[in-house]
Amino acid sequence: MRSFVPNEICSGYDDLSGRTPKKVLVNGGAGFLGSHLCERLLKSGHEVICLDNFSTGRRSNVHHLRPFSRFRIIEHDVRNPFDVDAALIFNFASPASPPDYQRDPVGTLLTNVLGAVNALDLARRNGATIVQSSTSEVYGDPEHSPQRESYCGNVNPVGPRACYDEGKRSAETLFFDYHRTYGVDIRVGRIFNTYGPRMRPDDGRVVSNFIVQALQNKNITIYGDGSQTRSFCYVDDLIEGFIRFSNAGKKCTGPINLGNPAEIPVRQLAEMIREMTNSRSRIVHLPRVTDDPKQRRPDISRAQAKLGWQPRVALDIGLGKTIKYFEARLSAAKVAEAV
């Protein structure tokens, strides 16, 4: 079996990740996105500290980075203050999948609020640049599509998604208040649904669920009628957007949408994955989840204009790479079970 080569399509990008090596802190660095970010930063010559409490992330996501002498892992919960010498901070620590963030809603809200405060205090003490992984969830169930950064959103503050949505909204508020009050150098990026290798097979998000179900010929579970839409961005594209954003001068605070505007109904995604995996799965419908946004599509004109960035990886290509990753993981798990 061919082992997966992480970031193989990323090599086509110009390396804009800064001419001078920096000390970079990645909070949530052992998660899906954080691990790709650590890898990209290390490959660009930076010193990287991955800080994580391993609640939804895994050590195995960054295991392959240990040979880099410039890489360090610190086990820590961002709800408690931390002191690390870093000139650039990426604040990616938060559960991101709805089942993950709803499992401990109070913990999620506090991770987003206290995690932001602690990271911003560190940035202020160090005079560091700090980059926030915000989310399209700040738009809630949007009344306008595509979503522009100027849209203030439609979030239910007392629903089951609020711990995440309002946590991220409060974090954005803190970022802009630290910027206005203390002059902290901030970047706020709003991430739209991103997928790729190193998602957890059981994280409950739609891409990982559908691929794992299809590969195992189990029922593919659509919540509701499947007419709700999402716009899926491949992980390498997203990381490229964040690298460009982190290098984009002090005036470029954002918020900036980072995502792929190609929108697709969930039902069509299920059919596409079933076909790509040659699966015998049946597509079944389960009840719609509360407050599930009906449509989501980023307007990326700001990212195009300010960062010269737009996604390059089409959905079928990105899904192909992700399917290969899950195939390898599932067969490795089978082998381990058999031993």
- Contact residues for ligand NAD, defined by CB under 6 A: 28, 30-34, 52-57, 77-79, 92-96, 100, 111, 115, 133, 135, 191, 193-194
Beta carbon nearer to ligand UDP, 99 or 249: 99
- Which residues, in sequence order, are bridge partners of residue 26? 50, 90
Q: 3-state secondary structure string, 166-227? A: HHHHHHHHHHHHHHHHHCCEEEEEEECCEECCCCCCCCCCHHHHHHHHHHCCCCEEEECCCC
209 binds, among ligand NAD, ligand UDP, none (CB under 5 to 8 A by kind): ligand UDP
**C-alpha closest to that of 206 among 120, 273, 122:** 273
132 binds, among ligand NAD, ligand UDP, none (CB under 5 to 8 A by kind): none
Query: Where do contacts with ligand UDP occur on this chain (CB under 6 A)?
Result: 97-98, 193, 205-206, 209, 221-223, 228, 230, 266, 289, 292
Beta carbon nearer to ligand UDP, 91 or 97: 97
Asked if the peptide bond before residue 146 counts as cis, ω within 30 degrees of 0, the response is yes
- Which residues, in sequence order, are bridge partners of residue 51? 27, 74
CB of 136 to ligand UDP, least distance (A): 7
Active site residue 164: yes
Beta carbon nearer to ligand NAD, 231 or 279: 231
CB of 289 to ligand UDP, least distance (A): 5
CB of 141 to ligand UDP, least distance (A): 10
CB of 224 to ligand UDP, least distance (A): 6
182 binds, among ligand UDP, ligand NAD, none (CB under 5 to 8 A by kind): none
The active-site residue, picked from 164, 178, 195, 234, is 164
Q: How far is CA 155 from CA 169, 225, 230, 322, in A?
A: 10, 22, 17, 31
Beta carbon nearer to ligand NAD, 28 or 226: 28
Beta carbon nearer to ligand NAD, 73 or 279: 73
CB of 266 to ligand UDP, least distance (A): 5
CA atoms within a 13 Å half-sphere pointing along the CA-CB vector of 82: 25
> Phi and psi of 337, rounded to 5°?
-65, -40
Helices within the chain (DSSP H only): 32-43, 98-103, 105-126, 162-182, 206-215, 235-246, 266-276, 301-307, 315-338
Widest Cα–Cα separation across the chain: 59
32 binds, among ligand UDP, ligand NAD, none (CB under 5 to 8 A by kind): ligand NAD
CA distance 200 to 204: 8
221 binds, among ligand NAD, ligand UDP, none (CB under 5 to 8 A by kind): ligand UDP
What 8-state DSSP symbol labels residue 300?
Answer: -
Q: Which residues are catalytic?
A: 164
